Amino acid sequence: MVRIIPMASSIRSSLSSFRFSGGVSTSRFGLSLSPLRLPSHLHFSHLTSTVPQTHFFGLKASKLLKTAGTRVGMPPVGNVVHASMATAQETALEWVKKDKRRMLHVVYRVGDLDRTIKFYTECLGMKLLRKRDIPEERYTNAFLGYGPEDSHFVIELTYNYGVDKYEIGTAFGHFGIAVEDVAKAVELIKAKGGKVTREPGPVKGGSTVIAFIEEPNGYKFELIERGPTPEPLCQVMLCVGDLDRSITFYEKAFGMELLRTRDNPEYKYTIAMMGYGPEDKNAVLELTYNYGVTEYDKGNGYAQIAIGTDDVYKTAEGIKLFGGKIMREPGPLPGINTKITACLDPDGWKTVFVDNIDFLKELE
C-alpha cells in the first residue's frame, strides 16, 4: 500500500486540525468548546501566529493563557482549557468505540523476496495473495497470508532494489502463527531446511505447546498449538518501555481491548495482549515489558502495522488527544487516492490507519 524505505520517515507533523473562530474552538468530532473572552489585542488570531494550535489543549496552552489572563486583569483560564480537553477526549473515546477497526496487515522489509516467499508458502503454509512491482520507485511488495485480505490479517513484505540485508534490532520480538500440531509443523520446517530455535514444548509457566523458528531474513515466528481458528496469523510481539503507558495509549487512541496480562517475575518480563476481539479468533498485539529496560534498538527491518478505520481524520485527532505523534496528516495518497494517516506510539512504533472503504476499493 505504502512504499516502505529502509530509513525512518522524515515527514514532519503539521498543525492540529482543530480550528478556532471568534474564540470558539471546534473539531471534527462536532464538539464546540466554550469561548474564551479575550481583549481584542489578545484574540486567538494573534495567539496562533506564534503558538501552534496543538498546544491549546496542553500544558503550554494553559501556561500561556494563565499568563495572558494575569497580565490583563482576567481570572486564570487554565481550568477552562483542561476541562475543554477532557471533554474532547471523552468525545473522541465515544467515537473510537464505534469505529469499525481491524488489523489489516503487518509490513516489514526483506533482502531476498523470492526466497522469503518460497519459505512462507512451503514451510508456513501461507498463500501468495498478490504481488506488485514499482520499478520507478525501485521496490516490490508481496502480500501473503492464510486468507483474503478483506477478511484476514496478512503480511506485506517489502523488497527495496539492491538492499539485501536489514537490522532487526532488539525491540521487535516475533510473529505468531496458530497451528493444530506444533510438532508436525516443526518436522516440516526442518525437512525444508528451516531453522528451529526452540523445540516444541510447553511455554514456561504454562501448558500451551509452542516452538520458535527463524525465517531466512532472521525474523522469528512463534508456533502456537491451538484448535481451528479463522486467523492463523495471530500475533505481532513488540517490546515497550512502560507497559501501563502502552496499555492506556492503545486502549484510548487505538480503541483496542486489553485481553489479558501475564507477569513472569522468574524470567523478569510482563506481557499484555491487546486487540479488537478474542485472541483465538483475531490477530493481536503482544506487548512485552522486560524488567528495567526502557529503550531498545529498533533496527530498520520491521516497519509498521496497518489498521482499518471509518474515518482517518477523526482517528488522527483522537491519536493527538491521547499523546500519539502524527507522522503523516490524514488525507489521500497520491495516485491511488486511498486515505491514510500514520502515527507513532509512545515507544516510537509506527502504525498506519487506512480508510475502510478505500482499502476495499484498492483490493478490487
Q: Which residue has the higher pLDDT, 23 or 269?
A: 269
pLDDT of the residue at 84: 85
Q: What pLDDT does residue 74 have?
A: 52
Position 312 confidence tier, pLDDT thresholds 50, 70, 90: very high
Catalytic status, residue 222: yes
**Percent of the residues in the chain that have a pLDDT greater than 70, as a whole number:** 79
**Angle of helix 78-98 relative to helix 243-252, nearest 10 degrees?**
70
Residues 6+ apart with CB under 8 A from 49: none
40 has pLDDT over 60:
no
Question: What is the mean predicted confidence (pLDDT) over 262-286?
Answer: 96
User: pLDDT tens across 57-111, in order?
Assistant: 333 333 333 444 444 445 556 677 778 888 988 999 999 999 999 999 999 999 9
**Beta-sheet strands, E only, within 18-59:** 19-21, 24-26
Range list of H helices, the chain: 44-47, 59-71, 78-98, 113-122, 182-191, 243-252, 312-321, 356-363
Alpha-carbon dihedral 242, 245, 249, 252, rounded to 10 degrees: 150
Domains in the chain, ordered, with CATH? 96-363 (3.10.180.10)
Mean of the per-residue pLDDT values for the chain?
Answer: 83
Q: What size, in residues, is the chain? A: 364
Residue 348 near residue 296, CB atoms below 8 Å:
no
Annotated active-site residue in 222, 225, 279, 329: 222
Q: What is the pTM of this model?
A: 0.79
Are 315 and 29 spatial neighbours (Cβ–Cβ below 8 Å)? Answer: no
pLDDT at 5 over 60: no
Helices (H) and strands (E) in the chain, counts: 8, 18
What is the C-alpha to C-alpha distance for residues 257 and 250, in angstroms, rounded to an integer? 8
Residue-wise pLDDT tens digits, 228-250? 999 999 999 999 999 999 999 99
**Each residue's pLDDT tens digit, 17-29:** 333 333 334 444 4
pLDDT over 60 at 343, yes or no: yes
In Å, what is the CA distance from 277 to each residue of 62, 94, 238, 255? 38, 18, 19, 11
Burial of 353 (0-12, 13-18, 19+ CB in 10 A): buried
**DSSP bridge partners of 127:** 145
| Residue 358 grid cell | 478505500
Q: Is 299 helix (H, G, I), strand (E, B) or coil?
A: coil
Residues with Cβ within 8 Å of residue 172, at least 6 apart in sequence: 219, 237, 238, 239, 298, 299, 301, 302
Tell me, what's the pLDDT at 77?
A: 61
Percent of the chain with pLDDT over 90: 71
Binding residues for Zn(2+): 156, 174, 222
CA distance 26 to 31: 6
Q: For residue 75, what pLDDT is reported?
A: 52
Task: Provide the 3-class DSSP secondary structure of residue 353.
Answer: strand
